[in-house]
Structure 1
Amino acid sequence: MQTYSALGGGKLRRMRRMFAADGRAVFVAIDHAAYMGEGPPLGEPMSQIASGKPDAVLATWHLARAYADVFASAGLVLRVDGGSSELGDMPQSDVNDIMHLPEQALRIGADCLVVLAFPGAPDEDLSLKRLARLTSECEQLGLPVMAEMIPGGWGRAVPWTMQNVARAARIGAELGADIVKTVCPGPTEEFAEVIAACPVPVVALGGPKSESEDDVVALAKGVVAAGGAGVAFGRNVWGSPQPEKLVARLREAVHGS
């Protein structure tokens, strides 16, 4: 079980808002509309997700404010990077930036901030420097940072092998991330290589919508069996006809109850 004894008091308390006593967590990502312009349905579906009792949600600035009461019992991981969208042609280079400051995030109740980083991409320096600056600032505030480490970027400038994912995860931790969110590109038993390489908790993202919710649950079970600290699933949860039940199944897969 992951321990957090090296963390300061502020980070320790906020990490425990997200991770249960077993050191694992079910994160539900609802931050997609900040770049897609569409995504998690608003209104009642948000309440359904919350009813499944996720340990934490990855949310945009708007959702963090608008649904503060709905997700009050869940940890809040705030997406703070952005600056591009899918409405036009996707930019060929990294044009993103930090959109919200850590002090501002604390005012709306963030327990953690999340940003993307792309080690191995041609312009990797932009996202890696962004991550390092953010972790330095957040260290002074006792605010954890989740680094979403995508080797080579979404364009896969380097192959998504388990070795490259492991190296990307380690880079995120070395730059100060308290949690790493990353891809699981192969059989989940091989994800143990990523866990062994990374000194902070690692959670697996869900990726595109799966055809079967059984596959989604199986991925969560496999990640945890490999030593992962949990999952951060988005489209597969809010795209479900019964998100409450799927979150409950994921909780069982990750926590065993």
Structure 2
Amino acid sequence: MQHHSAVGAGKLRRMRRMFGADGRSVFVAIDHAAYMGAGPPLGEPMREIAAGRPDAVLATWHLARAYADVFADAGLVLRVDGGSSELGDMPADDVNTILHRAEEALRIGADCVVVLAFPGAPDEDKSLGRLARLASECEMLGLPVMAEMIPGGWGQAVPWTVENVSRAARIGAELGADIIKTVCPGPPERFAEVAEACPVPVVALGGPKMKTEDDVVAVARGVVRAGGAGIAFGRNVWGSDKPRQLVERLREAVHGEVGD
């Protein structure tokens, strides 16, 4: 019993590093360059994002090391899958693999690990198997797992309907994920059905850059009002001219007020 209670304590403490007392979180995703080879600008823009005080960041191995001091006050969600890039033709099949083990993630200071999974894709067994194996490995270490559930994969082998997104979120939780990151199927109020269908916190990803930052903030507010646990926005934050101010606005939208 002692072992199990210790595992529970580990996950609880690490979840608190990412979620506020209100159970909500502003995640900023800065893990894109591992497959794009470009994207989140390095240096001062990273410090600007950190200065906005996001609850947590989704980062690559490099950013976790090189910006450990910059993001020391934020939770760290380490991207542990990948192994493909956008330099050549986009592969039709799932060619990803697990790049870093759970124990290695803990060594570098991760509070959580994140992987993609594609229920409904022709080769869904690959990503769903990776997620389940990672979840059981992390359970032994008290390390939370975020599953980025993309129904049908990026090629949308199944449409991103409310039903399909809800089912994808539930599948991720059933395979052991502690947090689900997924698409918002339509207007933010539709996220209510996704959140209700899932037994663990669900956060909405931002996707392509929105027209205005007011739109970005409105989506965040709408997702949370619909029962979502927060947001995990990437290019909509790091693509901003004033990322610090935007992160502060997102914190206000998600948590209700800027401050502790």
TM-score, normalising length from structure 1? 0.97
- Give the root-mean-square deviation of aligned CA atoms: 0.9
Query: 1:155 and 1:132 mapped to 2: Cα distance?
Result: 23
May I ask how many residue pairs the two structures share in their alignment? 252
Q: Give the letter for the 2:61 counterpart.
A: W
Moved more, 187-196 or 243-252: 187-196
- Following superposition, the deviation at residue 212 of structure 1 comes to 0.4
Q: Give the letter for the 1:24 counterpart.
A: R
Alignment of 1:6-17 (within 5 A): 8-17=8-17
**Aligned residue for 2:77?**
77
SS of 1:8's equivalent?
helix
Query: 2:22 and 2:139 mapped to 1: Cα distance?
Result: 24
- Following superposition, the deviation at residue 83 of structure 1 comes to 1.0
Query: 1:201 and 1:102 mapped to 2: Cα distance?
Result: 21
Alignment of 1:75-154 (within 5 A): 75-154=75-154
Q: Give the letter for the 1:124 counterpart.
A: E
- Following superposition, the deviation at residue 188 of structure 1 comes to 1.2
- Following superposition, the deviation at residue 218 of structure 1 comes to 0.4
Query: 1:185 and 1:209 mapped to 2: Cα distance?
Result: 16
SS of 2:209's equivalent?
coil
Q: Give the letter for the 1:27 counterpart.
A: F
- Following superposition, the deviation at residue 190 of structure 1 comes to 1.4
SS of 1:127's equivalent?
helix
**Aligned residue for 2:161?**
161
- Following superposition, the deviation at residue 223 of structure 1 comes to 0.2
Query: 1:224 and 1:210 mapped to 2: Cα distance?
Result: 18
Q: Give the letter for the 1:153 counterpart.
A: G
Q: Give the letter for the 1:102 counterpart.
A: A
Q: Give the letter for the 2:250 counterpart.
A: L
TM-score, normalising length from structure 2? 0.96
Alignment of 1:237-256 (within 5 A): 237-256=237-256
Q: Structure 2: any 5+ residue segments left out of the alignment?
A: none
Residues 131-152 of structure 1 show CA distances to partners (whole Å, capped at 9, x for unaligned) of 0000000000000000000000
SS of 2:216's equivalent?
helix
Residues 77-124 of structure 1 show CA distances to partners (whole Å, capped at 9, x for unaligned) of 000000110000011101111000111110110000000000000000
Query: 2:180 and 2:195 mapped to 1: Cα distance?
Result: 10
Q: Give the letter for the 2:230 counterpart.
A: G
Query: 1:207 and 1:63 mapped to 2: Cα distance?
Result: 21
Q: Give the letter for the 1:73 counterpart.
A: D
Query: 2:56 and 2:67 mapped to 1: Cα distance?
Result: 13
Query: 1:46 and 1:99 mapped to 2: Cα distance?
Result: 24
Alignment of 1:26-65 (within 5 A): 26-65=26-65
SS of 2:130's equivalent?
helix
SS of 2:223's equivalent?
helix
Q: Give the letter for the 1:196 counterpart.
A: E
**Aligned residue for 2:212?**
212
SS of 1:113's equivalent?
strand
Runs of 4+ residues deviating >4 angstroms: none
Q: Structure 1: any 5+ residue segments left out of the alignment?
A: none
SS of 1:42's equivalent?
coil
Alignment of 1:19-30 (within 5 A): 19-30=19-30
Query: 2:92 and 2:161 mapped to 1: Cα distance?
Result: 22
- Following superposition, the deviation at residue 64 of structure 1 comes to 0.3
